[in-house]
Amino acid sequence: MFRKLYETQIYRDPDFYSSFPGVANLGNGEIFAVFRRAPRYRGLPGLPEDWYVHLDRNSKLVSVRSFDNGRTWSAPRTLFAPDAGAAQDGGVMFDGDTLFVNSFIWGNLPDAVIKALRESGRDEYIYSAYGGSNVATHVGSFALRSRDKGANWEGPFFPDPIPGYPEALPGRPLLMHNRANIVRMPDGRLLYPGQALRYRPQYSSGIVLFESSDDGATWRYLAAPAPDGGTAVFEEPCLVLTKSGKLVLIIRTHKTPEGREYRLPDEKGAKRAMLWKCESSDGGRTWNEPVDLGIHGEPAAACVMDDGRILLVYGYRIEPYGVRGRICNAELTDIAEAEEFVVRDDGGRPDCGYPWVTALGNGRYMIVYYLNRPGWDGSGGIFATVAEIR
């Protein structure tokens, strides 16, 4: 049974656009959270009041803390502002000893470089968004680590290049990309999944998996759990280690291997994502074929509960907008059948979700997410729901 105990605002400032959080319980009432923050360009001539952008060259990864189990929070401080561009979504993992934060970078390129790359035909990984006025390239996913609960940090540590993929830019190998989480295995290895992109002959995206045997200082390619097959768009994976030792990937999917897109049955026909999953029983080395769960989610996060059951939460970008979840069995074999519950359903638009979840003890769990409420003019913020599950 899912029962809300309280909701809290982690951060909201109308002058900033804040999104894509991660969270971890550090113990003794201390909670550590990260999120992506960028300036909000409200009031500028020609821009709607609720205008927002997910690809901003001024994005930084910021962190906040709570010392009372999430009821109140510190002011944000910059955790990472990459020289190469903009930091995006934040992920957090604390194993009781080491605190890990992971994210990825959109690279900034001068107009002259973009023009030269396009004229030379080497522009495969020049990404244009929002009408083509916002342009970036893929720098890659990275991990930071701290041995003292975030007082000092090491990194960034980047995974090795993805084998078999073209260069992101001439002389720059393509690295793993996008939001994901890090998992500690029983044998001490760390596993880190992410997105592998192809732009030609058409846009497609698969899931790749990297491993580290030196506590995140280096990351080696391990497997491709969900290849794109030239057509699929698999992205933003959530990796779960079940109590039996099985690995399960829950994947946000916009386009199937057969080329089918998910669209809303309305006059706009907006693209929406569904959740797929695949599994490994040998520590991530081999995987079965990904299957469609028939659940809308953008994207998912999970937490193994004290009794082995798994709390799965996901953004819900179909009206009523917000965050939803399911309490699944210990092996995640009943995701589609598990009863869906509502975490929040009062979002003002589909720009919401991206939850993360951490256990607080005594059957309590904190779910963090971003949300834009009606009448907020698009500023939105980072929020948390603390719930009891029995």
Q: What is the DSSP string of 108-132?
A: P--HHHHHHHHHHT--TTEEEETTT
The Cα 234–Cα 358 span in angstroms is 25
At residue 176 the predicted structure's pLDDT band, cuts being 50, 70 and 90, is very high
Least confident of 123-137, 248-262, 265-279, 338-352: 123-137
Q: Are 316 and 329 in contact (CB under 8 A)?
A: no
Tell me: the pLDDT tens digits for 264-275? 877 577 889 999
Give yes or no for residue 19 having a pLDDT over 90: yes
Q: Can you give the pLDDT at residue 22?
A: 98
Name, in order, each residue with C-beta under 8 angstroms of 333's C-beta and a sequence gap of 6 or more: none
- 157 in any annotated domain: yes
At residue 133 the predicted structure's pLDDT band, cuts being 50, 70 and 90, is low
Hey, what long-range contacts does 75-84 have (CB within 8 A, 24 or more apart)?
Answer: 76/11, 76/35, 76/37, 79/34, 79/144, 79/153, 80/144, 80/156, 82/139, 82/156, 84/108, 84/139
At residue 390 the predicted structure's pLDDT band, cuts being 50, 70 and 90, is confident
Least confident of 235-249, 254-268, 299-313, 347-361: 254-268
Tell me: the pLDDT tens digits for 52-66? 888 888 999 999 999
Nearest to 189 by CA among 160, 215, 159: 215
- 386 in any annotated domain: no
Total-model pTM:
0.96
Give yes or no for residue 286 having a pLDDT over 70: yes
Q: Rounded to an integer, what is the distance from CA 123 to the centroid of its chain?
A: 26
- 390 in any annotated domain: no
Other CB atoms within 10 Å distance of the CB of residue 140: 22
Residue 1 CA neighbour count, 13 Å, CB half: 3
At residue 374 the predicted structure's pLDDT band, cuts being 50, 70 and 90, is confident
- 389 in any annotated domain: no
Q: What is the DSSP letter of 320?
A: S
Q: Can you give the pLDDT at residue 289?
A: 97
Q: Can you give the pLDDT at residue 324?
A: 98
Give yes or no for residue 287 having a pLDDT over 90: yes
Give yes or no for residue 291 having a pLDDT over 70: yes
- 101 in any annotated domain: yes
- 327 in any annotated domain: yes
CATH number of the CATH domain containing 33: 2.120.10.10
* Structure-token match 């080497």, residue found: 122
* Structure-token match 């829950």, residue found: 250
Q: Are 217 and 192 in contact (CB under 8 A)?
A: no
Q: What value does the mean pLDDT take over residues 174-179?
A: 96
Q: Can you give the pLDDT at residue 132?
A: 53
Q: Can you give the pLDDT at residue 379?
A: 75
Residue 291 CA neighbour count, 13 Å, CB half: 10
Q: What is the DSSP letter of 82?
A: -
At residue 381 the predicted structure's pLDDT band, cuts being 50, 70 and 90, is very high
Q: Which residue has the higher pLDDT, 108 or 62?
A: 62
The Cα 272–Cα 295 span in angstroms is 11
Q: Is 76 exposed, middle or buried (0-12, 13-18, 19+ CB in 10 A)?
A: buried
Q: What value does the mean pLDDT take over residues 284-301?
A: 97
Q: Are 198 and 228 in contact (CB under 8 A)?
A: yes
Q: Can you give the pLDDT at residue 336?
A: 96
Q: What is the DSSP letter of 63?
A: E
Give yes or no for residue 7 having a pLDDT over 90: yes
Q: What percent of the chain has pLDDT over 70?
A: 97
Q: Can you give the pLDDT at residue 134?
A: 66
At residue 142 the predicted structure's pLDDT band, cuts being 50, 70 and 90, is very high
Give yes or no for residue 129 having a pLDDT over 80: no
Question: How far is the CA of 303 from the CAs of 99, 131, 330, in angstroms?
Answer: 16, 38, 11
Q: Can you give the pLDDT at residue 49?
A: 76
Q: Are 309 and 329 in contact (CB under 8 A)?
A: yes
Q: Can you give the pLDDT at residue 84?
A: 87
Q: Can you give the pLDDT at residue 130?
A: 55
Q: Are 224 and 205 in contact (CB under 8 A)?
A: no
Quote the number of domains for the chain: 1
Q: What is the mean pLDDT of the chain?
A: 94
The Cα 356–Cα 179 span in angstroms is 11
Q: Which domain holds residue 160?
A: 18-375
Give yes or no for residue 281 having a pLDDT over 60: yes
- 235 in any annotated domain: yes
- Structural tokens at position 80: 């990472």
- 8 in any annotated domain: no
Q: Which residue has the higher pLDDT, 130 or 128?
A: 128
